[in-house]
Structure 1
Amino acid sequence: MNDKAEKGAMQVDVQLVRDLAALLDDTNLTEIEVEDGDRKIRVARKAGGNAAPAYIAAPAPVAAAPVAAPAVAAAPAEAPAATNAIRSPIVGTAYLAAEPGATPYAAVGSTVKAGDTVLIVEAMKVMNAITAPQAGTVKAVLVDNGQPVEYDQPLIVIE
């Protein structure tokens, strides 16, 4: 056994890095980050360029400070709605219906119960149901069907 293996050298999951790079291409995102225990994998691409090399850091910080995002101009009418919005728990692609052509899970004006699926976020070929945290009426749908979404991005408003 070599010295690196004896000292617990990190093993890189090359297929995971390739899958993350492919997800960047499929969703037109600029970066994606995955944490698994004390390992973190981040794949990023330069704006307008190809995927940049991935880096792996271990261990992950316990409480990371939020990273300032570039300022993005938003419509003033969207700001109040976004404060009460259900936010994306992951980076992926939002789908408003179970399949193309199907009735959307929730539309503006529809009534939902707590726990009802309101949309799906696909990440790495896994469909993640996003459910209503409380009963209410859908006031706004802030994403389009098939739109790439970022972590913590407002998706839908239920009041």
Structure 2
Amino acid sequence: MPKSNGTEKMRVDSALVRELAELLSENELTEIEVEDGDRKIRVSRKTGMVMAAAPAPAPAPVAAPAAAPQAAALAAEAAPADSGGGDDVAGTRVLAPMVGTAYLSPEPGAAQFVKEGDQVKEGDTLLIVEAMKVMNPITAPTSGTVKKLAVADAQPIEFDQLLAIIG
């Protein structure tokens, strides 16, 4: 196989990326990498932000963006994306540990876990991120006031995207 001059795009095997992500979750790993010739795929996640998936009622189905598997595979190589803004708000920034869909309530029509201005304790659920049909609670890393919720209900999110600020 001829060497790439950097202008060709790598073709990502989305089934392999999903399988690697499942292995991460099943084995409680933080990073996994596979190499096949010139192709290398690394999938990683941050620890401490996601607790073990708790059973939660499934929200209404939402189509995941087509680029999500590729974004997950390339997230470790890319600069952190912060499309939520909030640089002017002081506090602890809660970032997305994975690509998925953010839900602000446990089920459609239910009250939100938290709203801007609410007091939270460390470990309180702020929202859930659905990734590969698994509901992952995103918890408050510290106690304080929710100063900003940077995502809307059922919004697709990217790795390292700002979700909330607690001050």
Divergent runs of 4+, >4 A: 33-36, 68-72
2:80–2:160 CA contact under 8 A, matched in 1: no
Aligned-pair CA distance for 1:85: 1.6
What is the deviation of 1:84? 3.3
Equivalent residues in 2 for 1:79-98 (5 A)? 79-81=87-89, 84-98=92-106
The one-letter amino acid of 2:165's match is V
Report the number of matched residues. Answer: 112
| Percent identity between the two aligned chains | 43
**Aligned residue runs from structure 1 range 34-53, under 5 A:** 34=21, 37-39=32-34, 40=41
Provide the secondary structure at the position in 1 that maps to 2:88. Answer: helix
State whether residues 140 and 158 of structure 1, in contact with CA within 8 Å, keep that contact through their aligned partners in structure 2: yes
Pair 1:80–1:110, CA change in 2 (3 A): same
Question: Would you say 1:142 and 2:153 are equivalent positions?
Answer: no
Instruction: Give how far 1:41 is off.
Output: 7.0
Matches within 5 A, 1:1-159: 17=15, 34=21, 37-39=32-34, 40=41, 66-68=77-79, 78-81=86-89, 84-159=92-167
Amino acid at match of 2:95: R
Gaps of 5+ in 2: 1-12, 25-31, 35-40, 44-65
- 2: CA distance, partners of 1:134 / 1:100: 27
**Secondary structure, in 3 states, of the residue corresponding to 1:80?**
coil
Q: What stretches of structure 1 of length at least 5 have no aligned partner?
A: 1-13, 21-32, 43-49, 58-63
Q: Aligned partners of 1:109, 1:128: CA distance in 2, in Å?
A: 23
Contact 1:19/1:124 (<8 A) preserved: no
Q: Which residue of 2 aligns with 1:46?
A: none
Q: Secondary structure at the match of 1:79?
A: coil
| CA 18–96 in structure 1, closer or farther in 2 if over 3 Å, else same | same
Greater CA radius of gyration, 1 or 2?
1
- TM-score, structure 2 normalization: 0.55
Which residue identity does 2:78 align to in structure 1? V
Q: Which residue of 1 aligns with 2:10?
A: none
User: CA separation of 1:117/1:139 partners in 2, compared to 1, >3 Å: closer, same or farther?
Assistant: same
**Matches of 1:70 and 1:89 in 2, distance apart?**
12
SS in 2 for 1:38: strand
Using CA pairs below 8 Å that are at least 6 residues apart, which structure has the higher relative contact order?
2
Q: CA deviation at 1:80?
A: 2.3
RMSD: 3.5
Q: When the two structures are superposed, what TM-score results if normalisation uses the length of structure 1?
A: 0.57
| Partner amino acid, structure 2, of 1:127 | M
